[in-house]
A = this chain, B = another copy of it.
Amino acid sequence: MPVLYLIPVPVADDALHTLPARTIEIAQHLDTFIVERAKTARHFLKAAGIKRPLPEVEVTEIDDKDPIVASRALQSAFRSGKDVGLLSEAGCPGVADPGALVVEQAHQLGMRVQPLTGPSSILLALMAAGMNGQQFVFHGYLSPKRPELLRDLRRLEQAAERLDQTQIFIETPYRSKMVLEVALDALQPGTKFCIAQDITGANEMIRSLTIAQWKANPVSIQEKAPAVFLIYKKSGR
């Protein structure tokens, strides 16, 4: 039975060392890929030492607006009994990316779906935050506008306390500074707030403190590094 391999890609530059040998080996020996972005996928496959010349490797991009293209590529691989690799632009395919659609279709075709181990900035941030790892929720992106973001953050703070859940979200790198400013404004002094920037990268910065501690020890955060944000508040704290 053909297999759909879910192949994680490093989340920081030059961080191939975050992939297990087995994940790299499988990527090296496939010749059919469905990917979030063809350019970064080819770059990764080259760095990972793919065995075939790149022009002979079939790379199909997932088009959100026209999912039928990726769907046809998967079906045609399945019919010819070929294994397929699914690649995200960074991190784990199927998590905070459009790959889940391809995985869903693989199950419907009766393909075996095999997830491989690799870095996820969301999971690494959760590990490193020291919040509640027994119950947590990932929201993707919040509102990019200040007033709405402030409301969103307060809603998350309330949910954290009421449901005893770590609240996780992401934002585009250039908005990290704004998110920190709004968080310091929106959240209560005893609430825990974590920023994890450039995880596994050369400038990794993970800081998990209460809002009061953030205010007492201000730091300037990187403006261009990808970041994960986490909020937690124990009830009664």
Contacts and interface: CB of A to CB of B under 8 A. Distances in A.
Contact size range, A: 35 or more
B94 A128 contact: yes
Contact of A128 (B103, B125, B208): B103
Contacts of A227: none
A112 B206 CA distance: 8
B18 A107 contact: no
- Which label, helix, strand, loop or mixed, suits the secondary structure of the A interface? mixed
A47 interface: no
Nearest to A104: B130
A132 B126 CA distance: 19
Given A19-B20, A21-B21, A107-B209, A124 B117 contact: yes
A137 interface: yes
A220 interface: no
A20 to B, nearest CB: 5
Interface in A93-150: 93-97, 99-107, 112-115, 117-120, 123-140
A42 interface: no
A45 interface: no
Interface in A194-232: 199-200, 204, 206-209
Given A94-B126, A103-B127, A105-B130, 15 more contacts: A18-B20, A18-B22, A21-B21, A92-B127, A94-B127, A96-B134, A100-B129, A100-B130, A100-B132, A106-B130, A112-B206, A114-B128, A115-B127, A117-B119, A117-B124
Interface of A: 6, 17-22, 92-97, 99-107, 112-115, 117-120, 123-140, 165, 199-200, 204, 206-209
